């Protein structure tokens, strides 16, 4: 729910096209400028500015101690961040690519997620783990995984993923300010998506934990997040030609999960399709479909369907377009929503 950007004295700010990557970089910069305990660390985040240039200029502006090029070791990076947070800093860790975060799993699962709990609330860890995730950029193997299900299944972590330029800025700022650890999943194929955006007075965004209706509709609800939001928006436009008026819900946060917004939407429309590009089996869609069924069973006109990536290791770039759920696959699912029973 964005509001028009205004300056401090109330004048509207003239927004210019900005990319999600720029907004993320600006969120890091603003957080660091505001709070001296915010430190960025990771492989290549300093001089190079990150392989996606998200951290560009931070080392120059804040120095190597605040934006640190580390040795190449993800467990070490996150493990060191744990110690830094224990001493009162707010580390923001960059994992460079989704599959490169796996060596840090033990630190994430055993320590980052559990430290607040293990210490009876005495030692929260305000760590943000930035993970560029998902496919669609033609990356070679191990550069395109959708790892959100692993993080979702780990109590103690927040799992956040923006789909818009405004959310990229707003949600990252909130994640850094959060006293809980946040796995911040950046849909890397949206890094270069643009929107009119005002770094001087960024739009207000809904907080972490709230889903947002991106497009109201009456016929069915598409529930999605991150990289699949543009796909669903496009599908909703295309569906008009078939006479379907689709509502699109952007989850924004997988943990905490906004049952209320999702259930309210499905109760209105009576039909739901969950869309994500990570594999469907054991994936987020199963959990979401179950939650909808538990809450909205008597409102449902059709089973909750899932449109997901295939249950395969992420395919080579030349085949990824067949794997990733596109507009047609979403529309096919919508077509299977037992419309005839409705008439």
Residues that bind another protein (CB under 8 A): 16-18, 22, 25-26, 29, 39, 47, 49, 53, 56-58, 60-61, 65, 70-71, 73, 75-76, 78-89, 91, 103, 106-107, 110-111, 114-124, 155-156, 158, 178-180, 197, 199-200, 209, 255-260
Residue 99 beta carbon to another protein: minimum distance, rounded to whole angstroms:
17
What six digits make up the tokens of 18? 């900005």
> Rounded CA gap, 85 and 38, in Å?
10
Q: How far is the CB of 292 from another protein (least distance, A)?
A: 14
> Which residue is associated with the tokens 């994992």?
95
298 is catalytic: no
CB of 310 to another protein, least distance (A): 29
Q: In the bound complex, what is the minimum distance in angstroms from residue 125's beta carbon to another protein? A: 10
Q: Which two tokens stand for residue 219?
A: 């016929």
C-alpha span between 146 and 131 (Å, rounded) = 10
Residue 10 or 120: which CB sits closer to another protein? 120
At closest approach, how far in Å is the CB of 158 from another protein? 7
Q: What is the DSSP string of 160-223?
A: E---SHHHHHHHHHHHHH-SS-EEEEEEGGGTT-EEEE-SSSPPP-PPTT--EEEE--SSEEEE
Which structure tokens are listed for 343? 């008439």
Q: Which of 39, 143, 276, 323 is catalytic?
A: 143
Instruction: Return the number of the residue (116 or 252) whose C-beta is nearest another protein.
Output: 116
Pick 211 or 330: Cβ nearer another protein = 211
Name the pairing type of β-strands 128-133 and 90-94.
parallel
For residue 256, whether the previous peptide bond is cis, meaning omega lies within 30 degrees of 0, is yes
Q: Least separation, in Å, of the C-beta of 264 and another protein?
A: 13
Q: Which is nearer to another protein, 90 or 276 (CB)?
A: 90
Q: Is the dihedral of CA 39, 168, 110, 259 positive or negative?
A: positive
With respect to another protein, which residue has the nearer C-beta, 290 or 319?
Answer: 290
Smaller CB distance to another protein: residue 26 or 189? 26
The DSSP 8-state label assigned to residue 16 in this structure reads E
Token pair 């008009």: residue = 240
Residues 6+ apart with CB under 8 A from 290: none
Asked if the bond preceding 93 is cis, omega within 30° of 0, the reply is: no
3-state DSSP assignment of residue 294:
helix
Q: Name the residues annotated as catalytic.
A: 143
């Amino acid at each position: 729910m964005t509001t028009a950007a205004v300056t401090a004295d109330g004048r509207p700010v003239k927004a210019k096209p900005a990319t999600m990557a720029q907004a993320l970089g600006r969120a890091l910069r603003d957080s660091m400028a505001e709070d001296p305990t915010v430190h960025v660390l990771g492989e290549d985040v300093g001089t190079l500015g990150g392989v996606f240039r998200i951290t560009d200029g931070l080392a120059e502006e804040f120095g190597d101690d605040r934006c640190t090029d580390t040795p190449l070791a993800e467990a070490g990076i996150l493990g060191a961040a744990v110690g830094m947070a224990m001493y009162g800093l707010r580390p923001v860790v960059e994992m460079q690519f989704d599959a490169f975060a796996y060596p840090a799993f033990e630190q994430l699962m055993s320590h980052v997620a559990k430290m607040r709990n293990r210490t009876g609330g005495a030692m929260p860890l305000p760590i943000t783990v930035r993970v560029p995730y998902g496919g669609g950029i033609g990356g070679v193997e191990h550069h395109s995984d959708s790892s959100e299900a692993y993080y979702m299944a780990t109590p103690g972590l927040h799992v956040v993923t923006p789909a818009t330029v405004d959310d990229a800025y707003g949600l990252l700022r909130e994640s850094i300010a959060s006293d809980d650890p946040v796995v911040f999943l950046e849909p890397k194929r949206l890094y270069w998506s643009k929107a009119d955006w005002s770094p001087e007075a960024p739009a207000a965004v809904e907080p972490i934990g709230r889903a947002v209706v991106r497009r109201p509709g009456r016929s069915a609800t598409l529930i999605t997040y991150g990289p699949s939001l543009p796909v669903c928006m496009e599908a909703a436009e295309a569906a008009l030609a078939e006479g379907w008026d689709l509502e699109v819900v952007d989850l924004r946060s997988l943990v905490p999960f906004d049952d209320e917004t999702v259930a309210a939407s499905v109760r209105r429309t009576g039909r739901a399709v969950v869309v994500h590009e990570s594999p469907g089996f054991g994936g987020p869609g199963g959990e979401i479909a179950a939650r909808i069924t538990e809450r909205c069973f008597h409102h449902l006109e059709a089973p909750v369907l899932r449109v997901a990536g295939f249950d395969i290791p992420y395919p080579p770039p030349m085949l990824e377009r067949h794997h990733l759920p596109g507009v047609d696959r979403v529309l096919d699912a919508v077509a299977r929503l037992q419309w005839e029973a409705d008439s």
